[in-house]
Structure 1
């Protein structure tokens, strides 16, 4: 058994030795847009195309990535931070080159880590002998995500939106929030999920894109649409279980578009240090957010004391 675990760890390290890393944060403005289902199916499509994919799952609810696969995730990124488990032991391996990192509990404490804990976490990711081909992040919806504001450099941000008015409003609010914290105003990508047809999807996207361009100065890219599908409503893994379906084909097209996007400055092959660089940016972002919250709290306390 010990030998098997060792072999799995070595296999994971070998798979992580690639020459470039694409990071895609998948998010939505509200629950119910189909974000997690999108992540699962994008991952399956990428694996089917020969990519090695790590899914980082920020969600802790019953509908998270592990639960969708029927896996009981007994460990989390928090166990790595506490030094109870090695990162290799927490990552769940699936056939074909798919890896899942449950990270919901760990993400909640990133802004409170000591310098030693931060160094340990960065070292854990560096020790995996990066990089993978793709990292997909299933971010918690809206402002609840610890990955927002995205002041660090993820390669791409994909916003999933459905035709419901609340989803559209939430998506625009989220785009506004992201753009207000981005220094480089990079393009954001939009996938319209559960649209009745392409016409409806295009209308939704065009309205969002026009508003974002006019009022936020942000360009949105259309990553396609996924048609209304009863299997998707059930959270089905259509790209793996029903590869011939229209929905599966839509996810394959979106996956191909994402993996073939041009790298932006500082993100080309060989630049940065893959997962280690990503984790450094994530920790820095959360430390900054924690500091800002602390400063705001101090100012509030000062105002309260002065008013007495």
Structure 2
């Protein structure tokens, strides 16, 4: 496809999404997770969020890595309040929202937020009411979960409109990612499962890892996952992390930044399957599925 055609197609996709935003308050809720820690999941989440914001979308990150929240740390900020304050005080949604680069807003999970999965019906209804304004505040909500196969991660995957699994070529990452997909069978619709391959050495390793992983999960689990692309192991990423800055802003011309932009395009390109033909349920639907069971 020619560059001009690609640009026109992207403009059409964005126009369609904005039309949806005007017609109803529902937003697209995407959980980003991994089979193990240390694969760059939060870094992918932050840079993807900024890339989407650059394309005109209103983005909010929910840091759902309870007990090890680090979205704010990676952005070089300190959140005054966290999700815990929404649970245990009279704080409102506006109080706990922090603002990052390009207007990307985020909610820090905070230690103790895992309690929300064990609240009674009245408390759950109260939290859902407090979070309901997100429907009118964001076009896309990215949920950055903890790593591994835990009940909370599986519930976030089940409740979301879509899931992005971050995997690296390391054997442990591939094995744990496979185990997570296996645990999600019957809970998560395979049609909403995406994967990103991070920290690949080169195109050859990227394609080899992609082919082996996708073939394995389809052959043995019957799950057909959609690959959104890959991100190279890039020294610019490491430098940006040390500076507590998103690499897509600190080093916009680096290879990893270019690849994140391609991944954002691929994610937006799935909208015709996920957004127009099958509407979203918004934050109320997400929270009801998450907190009260799908």
Distance 1:151 1:172, change over 3 A: closer
Question: Following the alignment from structure 2 to structure 1, what is the Cα–Cα distance between the partners of residues 49 and 290?
Answer: 22
Structure with the bigger percentage of helix: 2
Aligned pair 1:96/2:105, yes or no? no
Distance 1:64 1:110, change over 3 A: same
SS at match of 2:289: helix
Post-superposition shift, 1:150? 4.8
Report if the CA contact (8 A) 1:93-1:99 is conserved. Answer: yes
For 1:116, the equivalent position in structure 2 comes to 122
SS at match of 1:148: helix
Q: Which runs of at least 4 in structure 1 moved beyond 6 Å after TM superposition?
A: none
Question: Following the alignment from structure 2 to structure 1, what is the Cα–Cα distance between the partners of residues 33 and 169?
Answer: 16
TM-score normalised by structure 2 residue count: 0.83
For 1:80, the equivalent position in structure 2 comes to 86
TM-score normalised by structure 1 residue count: 0.79
**For the aligned residues, what is the CA RMSD?**
2.4
For 2:285, the equivalent position in structure 1 comes to 277
SS at match of 1:71: coil
For 1:237, the equivalent position in structure 2 comes to 246
Aligned pair 1:201/2:209, yes or no? no
SS at match of 1:31: coil
Post-superposition shift, 1:270? 9.5
Post-superposition shift, 1:97? 2.8
SS at match of 1:96: helix
For 2:263, the equivalent position in structure 1 comes to 254
Aligned pair 1:142/2:148, yes or no? yes
SS at match of 1:140: strand
Distance 1:257 1:192, change over 3 A: same
Q: Which consecutive unaligned segments of at least 5 residues does structure 1 have?
A: 1-16, 289-308
SS at match of 2:146: coil
Aligned pair 1:166/2:172, yes or no? yes
Distance 1:145 1:44, change over 3 A: farther
Distance 1:94 1:277, change over 3 A: same
Q: Which consecutive unaligned segments of at least 5 residues does structure 2 have?
A: 1-20
Deviation digits for residues 231-273 of structure 1, max 9, x if unmatched? 32353511111111111010011112112313557x5489455
Report if the CA contact (8 A) 1:223-1:257 is conserved. Answer: yes
For 1:294, the equivalent position in structure 2 comes to none
For 2:194, the equivalent position in structure 1 comes to 189
Moved more, 95-104 or 54-63: 54-63
Question: Following the alignment from structure 1 to structure 2, what is the Cα–Cα distance between the partners of residues 60 and 126?
Answer: 21
